């Protein structure tokens, strides 16, 4: 199974790419994929996920050829 991840802004790891593809043998949740890429559990609460252009939470399972976009949650007024 192949999953494409787009990483925006400050979420990109130093020296890392803003576009990555992950290959996995079994179904995974977005959270699990990010943990394998070096993100820490406490960082995940500030990340907003879009799966195939729809907002989802970190516990959503991905399927083959899914596209994930990660961005930082910001607030203000």
Residue 31 maps to a domain: yes
What secondary structure, in 3-state letters, does the chain show? CEEEEEECHHHCCCCCCCEEEEECCCCCEHHHHHHHCCCCHHHHCCEEEEECCEEECCCCECCCCCEEEEEECCCCC
pLDDT by residue (tens digit) across 13-60? 666 778 889 998 888 999 999 998 888 999 888 889 999 999 999 999
**pLDDT surpasses 80 at 11:** no
Residue 46 maps to a domain: yes
CATH number of 47's domain? 3.10.20.30
Instruction: Note down the domain range covering 19.
Output: 2-72
**Could you give the number of structural domains in the chain?**
1
Residue 19 maps to a domain: yes
**Reported pTM:** 0.84
């Amino acid at each position: 199974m192949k999953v494409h991840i787009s990483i925006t802004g400050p979420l990109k790891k130093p020296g890392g790419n803003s576009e990555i593809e992950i290959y996995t043998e079994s179904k995974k949740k977005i959270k699990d994929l990010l943990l394998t890429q070096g993100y820490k559990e406490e960082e995940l609460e500030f990340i907003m996920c879009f799966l195939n252009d729809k907002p989802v939470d970190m516990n959503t399972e991905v399927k083959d050829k899914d596209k994930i976009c990660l961005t930082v949650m910001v607030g203000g007024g």
